[in-house]
Chain A
């Protein structure tokens, strides 16, 4: 069941982006994702925290994404502070990659690019 969440993204709310193992988007030398993981032609889709615990969010992402390497998360305010616009676009009933129902509260797009040094 989807939680009843506000369409306004609070500044303190965490936003999550899953990073799969392959293709490699992880910089092993510096042990962090490459900024390439945050470049998307339609703006960056992320999942909202949506009043869930951290563990609940990670569990949900693990269900939705096969072969998860890691999850990057950042506050909405950190995005706004560098001029990004956050639009809440709840996805319709979603299924995971195996076709099982799951709830994913994607917020998209965060316009522009988050560079690794940004």
Chain B
């Protein structure tokens, strides 16, 4: 967990969401760093709220929502996706798919990309590094998401 020191002119807060993927713990930061981290944290909290709202709206998709006979997204997948959002320090982009799954995507400007496809029974991961090498695997438990994210951030 990131520690921060008190300052009279900066409103400091704990940043528990910003620790797991980077592992940069037990460090002290200057006030400008804390201020910018606060902004990032607030932005990510806002994005998470929007993502939850977006995923909840997938409940309203009726059969044939994509024009190609896609079925409704099941409530099991929706609930699982919302739970999984907690694993993300930086919120992913969220999309429904035509096979009763929800997909999370992260990508940076270098071309590094990771997607998580949430099904009723498992989570499929697809990762591409900045030079185009790809890898696919399945996660049997939600706790393994953090490890997959480490691969993305550290690549």
- Which residues 61-91 of A sit at the B interface, judged by CB distance below 8 A? 64-66
Q: How far is the CB of B86 from chain A (nearest CB, A)?
A: 21
* Given A35-B115, A40-B99; A115-B126 close (CB under 8 Å): yes
- Which residues 84-134 of B sit at the A interface, judged by CB distance below 8 A? 93, 95-101, 103, 105, 107, 111, 113, 115, 117, 126, 128, 132, 134
Cβ of B65 under 8 Å from chain A: yes
Q: Mark A25-40, 1 if CB is under 8 A from B, else 0.
A: 1010110001111011
Q: How far is the CB of B36 from chain A (nearest CB, A)?
A: 21
Cβ of B23 under 8 Å from chain A: no
- Give the segment of B2-10, B26-34, B66-74, B139-147 that binds chain A: B66-74
Q: Give the residue name and chain of the A residue nearest to B70 (CB).
A: A40
Q: In the complex, A100→B140 CA distance in Å? A: 47
- 18 A-B pairs besides A24-B95, A34-B93, A115-B126 with CB distance below 8 A are A23-B58, A27-B105, A34-B95, A35-B115, A36-B96, A36-B105, A39-B98, A39-B99, A40-B99, A41-B71, A42-B69, A65-B67, A115-B128, A116-B113, A117-B111, A117-B113, A117-B128, A118-B134
Give 5 A-B contacts (CB < 8 Å), ordered by A residue: A39-B98, A39-B99, A39-B101, A115-B126, A115-B128
